[in-house]
Amino acid sequence: MTTDQLSLYCLYAAYSAMAIYTISFIAFALDLAKRSGDAQVAATAAIKAQAQRLAGKAEMIAESAGTPGGSVAVLERTDVDTGADAPRRSSKFERIGMSMMVLGLAVHISSVVLRGFAADRVPWANMFEFGLTGTALIVAVFLIVNLFVNLRYLGAYVMGLNLILLGVAVVNFYVAVSPLVPALQSYWLVIHVFVACLGTAFFAIAGGLSAAQIIQDRRETAKNPGLRLFDTLPGAERLEDLAYRIALVGFVLWTFTLIAGAIWAEKAWGRYWGWDTKETWTFIIWVIYAGYIHARATRGWRGARSAYLSLVGFAAVMFNFSVVNLLFKGLHAYSGL
């Protein structure tokens, strides 16, 4: 097959993956709606049950009033289980969403591989290519993390984010296969860019968790918690723990990206650090996440406050990928556009 054919099939696969992701997104959105309904039902049922229990208790007390030593110690849980720990049975929608996500990823990966064959090198050397590969990594990391902890409630977020990023990459950033300029011909391209995309994937998921944490935190402190569907999510503290751990992995990867980038810059441009725009933004992101890690360890900052830093960090990652690549001048001018 020729390069052109392969790149065409790569695009077909990318569009198909987007179609499947769209189904997955819809399924996850329906699941969220269902969660909302379930939570409503559960809350009503809990109130009813409690009312019944109280009524029953009154009867029992009335009945046993005459018997000696008849006071019965009734030990009952009256708190409503918010589903944080009791694993909620996954809904049909959620299962559809997950399986569509897996299927979408398989097609997506084939698109990445086709592009690799078309270009005859790793498919992450211009913006279209990092968009294509990076989004596949976000889904892959999400699915892998899901094997260890249940993050399915983030499915709609991951699919939504992914559709936007992949859509922009395919529609706005597409470029035909082109050879690598000599500065990019290095095994550091393979390592540095791949690890950066992987770090971004972890930051993306941590960002989603932090956003959920902030909402959950508001509901927990508010008198009248809206957004019933969040009843089915873990509590703010658990969300924070997860966000933090996933961001830590992202941070380690980002640290490596920074160092690998410096080593590569030394080889390609003759200096390891020169405050090029892209270098500067990589540094800024690194410092923001270092701040996030510190904030979590600072009294008065744990909780929602530190979560905002995680969001700022992820916003900076997205800014670095989009605006800095496109509009800022610098040595890293490899958007290919």
Partner 1 sequence: MARSSDTDKGLTGGSSDTSEDRGVDQRADPLRPSDHIDSEPGDSGDSGITQPRLSPLGYLRFFWRQLTSMRTALLLLMLLALAAVPGSLVPQTSSDPNGVAQYKFDHPTLAPILDKIGLFNTFSTPWFSAVYLLLFVSLVGCIIPRVKHHLEALRSVPPKTPARLSRLAGFQAFDVPRPADPSAAPVSAEIAVAHARSLLRRAGYRTRIVGDSVSAERGYLRETGNLVFHIALLGILVTVGIGGGFGYTGQRVVVVGQTFSNVLGSYDSFNPGRFFNDAQLAPFNIKVDKFTVKYEQKILDAIGTPIEYKTDVTTTQPGATAEKKTIKVNEPLQIGGTNVYLLGNGYAVNVVVRDGEGNVALKDSIPFLPQDSNLTSLGVIKVPDALPKQLGMQGFFYPSAVKQATGAYASNYPDAINPLLSLSVYSGDLGLDDGVPQSVYTLETGKLKVLAGTQSTAEEKPITLKPGQTVKLPDGLGSIEFTGVSRFVSLDIHHDPSQLYVLVFAVLIVLGLLTGLFVPRRRVWVKAVQGENGLRIEYAGLARGEDPTLERAVGDLAKRHQAVLDPKSASDRRKVNP
Packed helices 194-221 and 304-319: angle between N→C axes, nearest 10 degrees: 150
Size of the site for partner 1 (CB under 8 A): 58
CB 159 within 8 A of CB 101: yes
Q: Is 87 in the site for partner 1 (CB under 8 A)?
A: no
Residue from 43, 80, 109, 331 that binds partner 1 (CB under 8 A)? 331
- Restricted to residues 208-247, the positions that interact with partner 1 (CB under 8 A) are 241, 244-245
Is 64 a binder of partner 1 (CB under 8 A)?
A: no
Which tokens belong to 321? 């990928």
Nearer to partner 1, 225 or 303 (CB): 303
Applying CB under 6 A, the residues found at the interface with ligand HEM are 290, 293-294, 297
The reply to whether 277 sits near partner 1 by the rule CB under 8 A is yes
Q: Which residue, 119 or 317, is less far from ligand HEM as judged by CB? A: 317
The one-letter code for the residue type at 195 is: V
Residue (163 or 249) nearer to partner 1, CB: 249
> Whole-angstrom Cα distance, residue 145 to residue 152?
10
Q: How far is CA 109 from the centre of its chain?
A: 18
CB-wise, 34 or 302, nearer to ligand HEM?
A: 302
Instruction: Select from 51, 269, 315, 326 the one that contacts partner 1 (CB under 8 A).
Output: 269
Q: Residue number with the shortest CB distance to ligand HEM?
A: 297
Chosen residue from 16, 280, 322, 335 binding partner 1 by CB under 8 A: 280
Smallest gap from Cβ 214 to ligand HEM, in A, equals: 21
| Residue 70 touches partner 1, criterion: CB under 8 A | no
Cβ at position 118, least distance to partner 1 in Å: 10
* Contact between 177 and partner 1 per CB under 8 A: yes
Tell me the C-alpha distance between 69 and 162, whole Å: 65
> What are the φ and ψ backbone dihedral angles of 148, each rounded to 5 degrees?
-100, -45
**Cβ neighbours for 197, distance < 8 A, ≥ 6 positions apart:** 124, 130, 133, 134, 137
Shortest spacing between CB 279 and ligand HEM, in angstroms: 16
Residue 297 or 327 with smaller CB distance to ligand HEM = 297
Contacts of 292 (CB under 8 A, 6+ apart): 247, 306, 309, 310, 313
The answer to whether 202 and 253 are in contact (CB under 8 A) is: yes
User: Is 117 an interacting residue with respect to partner 1 (CB under 8 A)?
Assistant: no
Dig out the tokens for 74 from the structure: 């009734």
CA distance 250 to 197: 10
Q: According to the binding rule CB under 8 A, does residue 290 interact with partner 1?
A: yes
Tell me the C-alpha to C-alpha distance, in Å, between residue 153 and each of 107, 132, 209, 245, 255: 23, 24, 10, 17, 29
Positions in the binding site for partner 1 (CB under 8 A) = 3, 176-183, 185-186, 188, 241, 244-245, 248, 251-252, 255-256, 259, 262-264, 266-277, 280-281, 283-284, 287-288, 290-291, 294-302, 324, 328-331
